[in-house]
Structure 1
Amino acid sequence: MSTSKLPLLVAGLALLAGACGDGAVQVQVPRPDAATQRLCEGLRLPEKVHGQKRRDTSPSSPLTAAWGSPPIALRCGVPRPATLHPTSQLVTINRVDWFGLPANRPVTFTAVARQAYVEVTVPPKYNPAGDVLIELGPLIEATIPQKPEGQI
């Protein structure tokens, strides 16, 4: 094998290991302000979601989590979704308002109207995606305070 193909082979093996559930899940770490980061660091996430075991994330951060393969991924402290508007359709599950984007799969839901935005990406394997939100919602509600009435 030529040395020029070696980096491609290594990258392919890394992707394969991640897809098989053996390695850490690549999850981009948000960069919130200090107050939001403190709120997110207080979020106590379970060892299992939707029956799936928690996995390590890379880079490791208290602002990210993942479960299963393909991974259900959570990021706390993300920016407000650019397409979120006062007239956007939200889904309320157990007193947490969620904004879903895109309409196809996998769906990324963002908990809104909270002092920190929490993003959860749910692959189609775990349909209905709302079951994942049902599990995570009470933890978000208990940790991330609501914004004043009318603010999303």
Structure 2
Amino acid sequence: MNSFRHRHTSVLGLPALVLLITAAGCSSADDSASAAVPSPGAKAAKLCQNLDKVLPAKVDGERREDPSPASALTAGWGDDPAIILRCGVVRPPKMIDPKVAEGRDPDAVAGGVEGVKWLMEKQDGGGYRFTTASRRAYVEVTVGQGRDSSSVLIDLAPAIKKAIPAGVADLTVSN
């Protein structure tokens, strides 16, 4: 008889478990953005960890909400669309494209904001990807359509200048 009651309880518990899993899947904690974690060499990884410690709590008026999976190499702010920072990324091919340097590439522009040089690339969907130039580690920031890109870069510049020194990036990638 105990065996029957146990099966009966398990069957009744199954719909409740499904409901609980479904509700958990819809929670705000699960609404965070995701970002691929870069695999920089040891020198760049150390710089990126230092950057993570000095990043602002707010960017473009949005509070920090890091993407998943959690990593000291990624950070995020806001949502819809989220501002995503990835540190230790590989050098973008456009960074050494002569058309960009000469201003002849309509989808990529080089420039600077608050003492940090950036490569700006248009993304599908209307957003932009910015990658630092002339720093010892490449930092990539994606800004979705509808966000004020200049405000984002102005807010991030002090932390980048503090943690990522000017110079030539370490092009080593860890395995």
Larger Rg: 2
Q: CA deviation at 1:90?
A: 1.3
Greater shift, 103-112 or 40-49, is seen at 103-112
1:22/1:64 CA distance change after superposition, 3 Å: same
Structure with the higher strand share, 1 or 2: 1
Task: From 17, 23, 33, give the equivalent of 2:41.
Answer: 33
Aligned to 1:58: 68
1:45 aligned residue: 55
TM-score, normalised to structure 1, is: 0.79
| Deviation (angstroms), 1:34 | 0.6
Matched, 1:114 2:124: no
Superposed displacement of residue 86, structure 1: 6.2
* Percentage identity across paired residues of the two chains: 38
RMSD: 2.3
Letter matched to residue 121 of structure 1: T
Matched residue SS, 1:26 = coil
Structure 1: which 5+ runs fail to align? 1-9
Q: Structure 1: which amino acid aligns with 2:143?
A: V
1:23 partnered with 2:31:
yes
How far 1:21 moved relative to its partner? 7.4
Q: How many residues align?
A: 134
Give unpaired runs (5+ residues) of structure 2.
1-20, 101-108, 169-175
Code of the aligned partner of 1:78? V
